[in-house]
Structure 1
Amino acid sequence: MDHPHPHTAPTGDTPPDLVASDPVTLGIDIGGSHIKAALVAPDSALLTNYERITTPIGQPPAVIVDAISALIAPLGGFDRVSVGFPGATRGGTVLTAPNLGNLSWHGFKLADHLAARLRRPVRLANDATVQGLGAIAGRGLECTITLGTGMGFALFMDGQAAPHLELGQHVAFKKRSYDHFVGHDALLRDGLKKWNKHVLRTIDALRVLVNFDLMFIGGGNVSAIGFALPADVHLVSNETGITGGVRLWDGVVPRRG
């Protein structure tokens, strides 16, 4: 899928407010374990393979910005940038980064810093929100959870993302948050069988809390799920964490089916 793209290179002089009629989106997925990036067509099809690096946990935001700049260099030209971030964001600013291990993320204007570095307009959202935008049907009440370093969560009504909720930081069982109940450390600590029971319990709890029409589960540990899923719960591939970035520019996901 390594196709060259004729649009302006990211180091060009195109003003960030001028976007092509068939814009190519650079999708960036910042995770607690890895940072991934690829180019995405307007119809959400991948134009390139992933570029991927290990997330420099504990480092200040400037190191992440530098790492992203180096990561995307082989991808070629793009017109705009969508970023999924593992924490709460608002207006292009990071509010929380619970799994990145550095408090200097709080209040960091990540979208502005990346726009200045890449010379392209940037939109930023929680990573579960971006993944959900790449997966949801666009009708009714839908939600996404991501199972990776922690647990991400996003909620949608008729294709429109709701305000972000840091459900991963909420208490799930006794004093354990969802991050520590179904996150990666829980999988290592509790073992596969017990972890699967915790995931099923989480689905049941969210069914009561949200009354969702559909739930989508993604993230790096989705392959560890070993139980039969209810009919209204679906697994999605990790590429939706990249391809969903196109929808950040559309506002509402078109209804499917």
Structure 2
Amino acid sequence: MIKYAVVDAVEGTPTTPVLQLPTPRPATPDAVAEAIAALVDQLSTRPQAPDPKASIGVALPAVVRHGVARTAANIDPSWIGTDANRLLSERTGRPVHVLNDADAAGLAEVRHGAGRGELGRPAAGTVLVITLGTGIGSALFVDGRLVPNLELGHVELDGARAETRASAVARERDGIDWPAYAERLQRYLSHLEFLLSPDLIVVGGGISARHEDFLPLLHLEAPVVPAELRNAAGIIGAARHAYQAMPTAVQ
């Protein structure tokens, strides 16, 4: 599904309900661009319509470098090499700024959620945001600055990619209980802690709604906390990314 909303990027809050649109099949660049252009037109007719000059942030399940998609995790392979910024800007008639979807969720959490520090600013030090879903997404921040496109779900765990062992889908597929899942997650996060020495770990994704069932079973040096923004994190982070790209934005 394509999830979308109008967002107050300064406050980090949606000003419309979070809406959904079926992802085109196949999810080619042209098909997705047409869907996004249609939803922008739909939002423009609402009472909370965005400013006609407002830019658009888009979170894409891909490594994104300078607006160009370099991988295609859960979308059509034809995205690889596509200048997503240019394509979507041309189709919508607005400036569009694209980033990796896990980076978007992380950006929202460090600015407006569980990773924010004092006075609403991102927490100091190194913050690792992990999203547990179909796979494992990851975002790393150092003093509030994003280190983009880290694919830490592909770190090896027990001879396989970590996301095939420790994602939310892996728990359901293997039919394991919460203690057994926490044991897998412990092994994975302990390895990341050894590699990255984070000061804070934020765990998101749909499974974070059940965080009481597994987070208390983890034992790490860094505090581990559940994400706060849940379903809206990627949308808020994409909007924040677009806002930060404006020349006059207050960071």
* TM-score in terms of structure 1 length: 0.76
Q: Which residue of 2 aligns with 1:250?
A: 244
Considering fraction of residues, name the structure with more helix. Answer: 2
Q: Which residue of 1 aligns with 2:119?
A: none
C-alpha contact (below 8 Å) 1:144/1:216 kept by paired residues: yes
Report the 3-state secondary structure (helix = DSSP H, G, I; strand = E; otherwise coil) of the residue aligned with 2:13.
coil
Q: Whole-Å Cα distance in 2 between the matches of residues 253 and 173 of structure 1? A: 44
Report the 3-state secondary structure (helix = DSSP H, G, I; strand = E; otherwise coil) of the residue aligned with 2:16.
coil
Structure 2 spans left out of the alignment, 5+ residues: 111-115, 117-121
Task: Report the RMSD for the aligned CA atoms in angstroms.
Answer: 2.4
Q: Which residue of 1 aligns with 2:225?
A: 234
Equivalent positions of 1:142-157 (< 5 A) are 142-157=127-142
Q: Whole-Å Cα distance in 2 between the matches of residues 127 and 205 of structure 1? A: 23
2:187 is the counterpart of 1:201: yes
Deviation at 1:57, TM superposition (A): 5.7
Q: Percent identity?
A: 33
Partner amino acid, structure 2, of 1:250: Q
Q: Whole-Å Cα distance in 2 between the matches of residues 125 and 181 of structure 1? A: 26
Deviation at 1:115, TM superposition (A): 0.7
2:134 is the counterpart of 1:159: no
C-alpha contact (below 8 Å) 1:143/1:156 kept by paired residues: yes
Q: Which residue of 1 aligns with 2:156?
A: 171
**CA deviation vs aligned residue, 1:154-209 (integer Å, no higher than 9, x gap):** 111111111322222332221x2123123354133212424343223222222111
Q: Which residue of 2 aligns with 1:3?
A: none
C-alpha contact (below 8 Å) 1:133/1:253 kept by paired residues: no
Q: Whole-Å Cα distance in 2 between the matches of residues 198 and 93 of structure 1? A: 34
Deviation at 1:36, TM superposition (A): 0.6
Structure 1 spans left out of the alignment, 5+ residues: 1-33
Equivalent positions of 1:70-219 (< 5 A) are 70-76=38-44, 77-78=49-50, 79-100=54-75, 102-136=76-110, 137=116, 138=122, 139-174=124-159, 176-193=160-177, 194-219=180-205
Distance 1:197 1:246, change over 3 A: same
C-alpha contact (below 8 Å) 1:114/1:122 kept by paired residues: yes
2:5 alignment partner, one of 38, 49, 64: 38
Q: Whole-Å Cα distance in 1 between the matches of residues 32 and 98 of structure 2? A: 14
Report the 3-state secondary structure (helix = DSSP H, G, I; strand = E; otherwise coil) of the residue aligned with 1:84.
strand
Q: State the aligned residue count.
A: 219
Runs of 4+ in structure 1 off by over 6 angstroms are: 251-254
Instruction: After superposing the two structures, state which structure 1 stretch, 162-171 or 209-218, moved more.
Output: 162-171
